Amino acid sequence: MLTLHNYWSSVCSQKVRICLAEKGLAFENRHVNLFEFDHWRPEYLKMNPKAVVPALDHDGRIVVESNVILEYLEDCFPQVRLRPEDAYAKTQMRLWLFNSEEIAHENVNTCSYNPRHAARHRAKGHTSDDLKRMAAGCPNPVIRNRLLHRAAFGVTDAEENQAYEALDFLLDNMEQTLGRGPWLAGAEYSLADIAMAPFINRIEVLKRPEMVEAARRPNLAQWWQRIQARPAYQQALAVKNPDTSDPMQR
Ligand SMILES: N[C@@H](CCC(=O)N[C@@H](CS)C(=O)NCC(=O)O)C(=O)O
């Protein structure tokens, strides 16, 4: 049995849900409300001591880190193949898994803070002092210190601009890569496309659609149309926010 502990709009969770849908795998969807700090509760920390989502429970074995989960699902359920067999194509797939973690996640997180995460904290009535007090209870020093910094200063314009600059650089790289495509690892749709898709969605949700417009990045725009047409993508992204008090429903 597969149980996915995840948050409806988390990009790392969406990656895993797309992969599960592509493989046609049934799973129990357990919502971990990041804005109620469910991910800092002792039961959750036993599964993922880093205090982040997602975590996959496969018959009692816990797997964390979204890219590790993707490869685990591929190894356990290879019937629908999402990893190329060719050695070079495999390196390209892994390169994009790495890019999704190193560049996309970090910077999309920064760009999401002011318009999305801070707005949610405000809607929940969390003041800056509440956040600082809550942050003290987070066992992961990276997350704790980031939240403390953001509770005090938010994300500054300079930080946000730098994050968008890094994303632009990554999207240029995607545009070039997809020129040789049609997919990120080459001829075959793979975990690489799955790992990047939620970030392109978030960039659109953040109202920066010009970053993925055909006039600017035609290869990326075509790839994005193909991704959005996939039933697995639609299924994975259709998960609704169970927290109806949250102002963010997309
Ligand atoms: N490298 C991790 C990153 C996980 C991560 O940071 N997840 C975010 C949501 S996309 C999270 O749980 N954030 C909680 C927080 O910042 O408090 C992965 O890919 O699974």
Q: What is the CATH number of the domain that holds 60?
A: 3.40.30.10
Nearest CA, atom 15, ligand 1: 52
Residue whose tokens read 């946000």: 160
Nearest CA, atom 19, ligand 1: 66
Q: What is the pTM of this model?
A: 0.96
Question: Residues 218, 140: one domain?
Answer: yes
pLDDT digits (tens, 9 = 90+) for 18-32: 999 999 999 999 999
Residue whose tokens read 């953001």: 150
Here the CATH number for the domain that contains residue 205 is 1.20.1050.10
Would 240 be classed as within a structural domain?
no
Say if residue 131 is exposed, middle or buried (CB neighbours under 10 Å; 0-12, 13-18, 19+).
middle
Would 55 be classed as within a structural domain?
yes
- Tell me the percentage of the chain whose pLDDT exceeds 90: 82
Closest C-alpha to 167, from 222, 112, 229: 112
Question: Residues 20, 91: one domain?
Answer: no
Using omega within 30 degrees of 0 as the cis cutoff, is the peptide bond preceding 198 cis? no
List C-alpha distances in Å: 81 to 189, 202, 225: 9, 26, 22
pLDDT at 249: 80
pLDDT at 182: 97
Would 249 be classed as within a structural domain?
no
Which atom belonging to ligand 1 lies closest to the Cα atom of 40?
17
Helix axes 191-205, 157-179, angle to 10 degrees: 140
Mapped onto helix, strand or coil, the DSSP state of residue 141 is helix
Ligand 1 centroid–CA 213 distance in Å is 28
Ligand 1 centroid–CA 88 distance in Å is 29
Say if residue 97 is exposed, middle or buried (CB neighbours under 10 Å; 0-12, 13-18, 19+).
buried
Question: Residues 70, 111: one domain?
Answer: no
Nearest CA, atom 11, ligand 1: 52
Question: Residues 186, 125: one domain?
Answer: yes
Average pLDDT over residues 218-234: 97
pLDDT at 140: 94
Average pLDDT over residues 197-209: 90
Grade residue 1 by pLDDT with cuts at 50, 70 and 90.
very high
* Range of the structural domain that residue 72 is part of: 2-76
For the chain, the average pLDDT equals 95
pLDDT digits (tens, 9 = 90+) for 118-146: 888 888 888 888 888 888 889 999 999 99
To test ligand 1's pocket by mutation, which of 17, 38, 52 has the most ligand atoms within 8 angstroms of CB?
52
* Residue spans of alpha helices (H) in the chain: 11-22, 42-47, 66-76, 87-99, 106-112, 118-123, 128-135, 141-153, 157-179, 191-205, 218-228, 231-237
Judge if the beta carbon of residue 66 lies within 6 A of ligand 1. Answer: yes
Length reported for the chain: 250
Ligand 1 centroid–CA 241 distance in Å is 17
Ligand 1 centroid–CA 52 distance in Å is 4
Question: Residues 95, 210: one domain?
Answer: yes
Ligand 1 centroid–CA 34 distance in Å is 10
Question: Residues 70, 139: one domain?
Answer: no
Question: Residues 52, 118: one domain?
Answer: no
Question: Residues 184, 66: one domain?
Answer: no
